[in-house]
């Protein structure tokens, strides 16, 4: 959500962003609507200020007349009319301001100068590759079929009990899932993040301010007959916690991390169309957020990006970093990079994490402000990043560590979490 003062003073920049995001068709006229409504709101607000000034002036004149033992009948008649006029003016100003705030939520955030221009995800730009994919001389099995053949997962039962997009994990693969969670949390805590347990449901007032409007419609589950929504990421709870809050500047930055179950409808062209772990309605994720001073947000953006890179480097998974283009960028986002892991089976990269700087757009919607102690309060910047979505990480491990006999080596950094196990699916000869 943009600051109305910024829109008022830099309308051409806002128009340029709408053009860069290829949104002229849906938002081309929006900037003019915002400016017209803002002008009307300021005029009504000015009228209210004049009425208040008039009321103050009359109050002084009436008080002075009484001191002189005069009967200010005409002044009293004027003063009697003012409350009704002022109430009507304030009501009209409040209505216009509410309408203005709604329109502002539809304007996209400004773009960082490094964001590549493009229309779709086809125009996203590779920044760099890290790690070299191995050349297997044998066929890599589909991860879902492999897990079922090893009795490590049951997708048939989950489809029967819950529908497509769910899964049962058991035995070593379930332990590996937990190992990934603990590995990611350990990494985050060592990086100086405070671990937080969050609610898994949020009220509409909160979810509507932390998520993109499109996510509200397409991805987020609503509880029937309740003003509650299941979170699609713990970022929503971590940031939503500070709705309508004034933070002392000396407490910044807030660096928080959380593990949670996440829930997404995943409606659209990438819907739930096959069994497995790649795209599901329910999954485990370790997330991180930062709330910081505006001048520090790009520094933290680089730090957050590096954390996810280091996590997957530690796992020994080949990855690449992808800059998201203007047309593929969510409206709240100023800049975003995705971390993609190598699929040994498909011989291509797939998304395992996403790092975003939202500048003040999200905090402004949530009415989060910072008190510097001296001077005017300001809106902080917020950032979020995926440390690890374990279902995606499991797919990467199952493909990149799959052996010719169908067993799966466990990455060395996870051995300490696996109760002595170093391989999944390999029979051990017992004497």
What average pLDDT does the segment 420-428 reach? Answer: 80
- Evaluate whether residue 112 is within a structural domain: no
CATH number of the domain residue 73 falls in: 1.10.287.40
Question: What is the pLDDT at residue 268?
Answer: 45
Q: What is the pLDDT of residues 285-309, one digit of tens each?
A: 999 999 999 999 999 999 999 999 9
Question: Does a structural domain hold residue 365?
Answer: yes
Question: CATH number, domain at 402?
Answer: 3.30.930.10
Burial class of residue 237, CB neighbours in 10 A (0-12, 13-18, 19+): buried
Helix 30-67 × helix 11-20 angle, to 10°: 150
The bridge status of strand 369-371 relative to strand 246-248 is: parallel
Question: Is the residue at 19 inside a domain?
Answer: yes
Same domain? For 55 and 190 the reply is no
> Is 111 a domain residue?
no
Joined together, the tokens standing for residue 107 give 């304007």
Residue matched to tokens 């800059």: 323
Same domain, 226 and 320: yes
- Does 254 fall in a domain? yes
Q: Hey, which of 48-62, 91-105, 288-302 has the most confident mean pLDDT? A: 288-302
**Based on the domain organization, do 14 and 53 belong to the same domain?**
yes
Rounded to two decimals, what is the model's pTM?
A: 0.89
CA 217 vs CA 148, 212, 268, 285: distances in Å = 34, 9, 11, 22
pLDDT, position 217: 65
DSSP 272: S
Domain range for 77: 4-104
Q: Is 40 helix (H, G, I), strand (E, B) or coil?
A: helix
- Does a structural domain hold residue 147? yes
Residue among 419, 366, 155, 365 at smallest CA distance from 277:
155
Domain boundary among 73, 104, 135: 104
Number of domains the chain is built from: 2
pLDDT band at 55 (very low <50, low <70, confident <90, very high): confident
**DSSP label at residue 280:** -
């Amino acid at each position: 959500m943009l600051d109305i003062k910024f829109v008022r003073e830099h309308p051409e920049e806002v128009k340029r962003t709408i053009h860069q995001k290829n949104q002229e068709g849906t938002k081309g006229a929006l900037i003019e609507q915002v400016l017209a409504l803002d002008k009307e709101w300021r005029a009504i607000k000015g009228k209210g200020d004049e009425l208040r000034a008039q009321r103050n002036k009359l109050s002084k004149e009436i008080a002075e007349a009484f001191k002189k033992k005069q009967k200010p009948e005409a002044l009293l008649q004027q003063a009697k009319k003012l409350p009704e006029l002022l109430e009507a003016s304030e009501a009209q100003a409040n209505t216009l301001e509410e309408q203005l705030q709604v329109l502002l939520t539809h304007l996209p955030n400004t773009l960082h100068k490094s964001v590549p221009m493009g229309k779709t995800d086809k125009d996203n730009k590779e920044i760099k590759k890290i790690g070299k994919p191995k050349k297997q001389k044998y066929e890599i099995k589909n991860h879902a079929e492999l897990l079922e053949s090893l009795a490590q997962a049951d997708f048939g039962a989950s489809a029967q009990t819950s529908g497509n997009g769910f899964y049962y994990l058991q035995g070593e693969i379930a332990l590996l899932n937990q190992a990934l969670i603990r590995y990611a949390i350990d990494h985050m805590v060592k990086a100086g993040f405070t671990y937080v347990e969050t609610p898994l449901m949020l009220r509409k007032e909160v979810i509507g301010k932390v998520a993109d409007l499109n996510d509200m419609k397409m991805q987020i589950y609503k509880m029937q007959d309740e003003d509650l929504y299941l979170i699609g990421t713990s970022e929503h709870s971590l940031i939503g916690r500070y709705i309508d809050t004034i933070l002392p500047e000396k407490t910044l930055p807030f660096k928080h991390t959380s593990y949670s179950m996440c829930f997404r409808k995943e409606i659209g062209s990438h819907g739930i169309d096959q069994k497995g772990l790649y795209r599901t309605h329910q999954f485990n994720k370790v997330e991180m957020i930062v709330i910081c001073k505006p001048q520090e947000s790009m520094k933290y953006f680089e730090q957050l990006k590096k954390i996810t890179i280091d996590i997957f480097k530690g796992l020994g998974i080949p990855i690449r970093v992808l800059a998201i283009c203007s047309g593929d960028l969510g409206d709240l986002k100023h800049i975003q990079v995705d971390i993609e892991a190598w699929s040994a089976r498909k011989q291509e990269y797939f998304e395992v994490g996403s790092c975003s700087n939202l500048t003040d757009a999200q905090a402004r919607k949530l009415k989060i402000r910072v008190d510097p102690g001296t001077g005017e309060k300001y809106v902080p910047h917020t950032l979020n990043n995926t440390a690890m979505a374990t279902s995606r990480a499991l797919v990467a491990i199952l493909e990149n560590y799959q052996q010719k006999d169908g067993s799966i080596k466990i990455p060395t950094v996870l051995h300490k979490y696996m109760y002595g196990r170093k391989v999944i699916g390999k029979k051990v000869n017992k004497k």
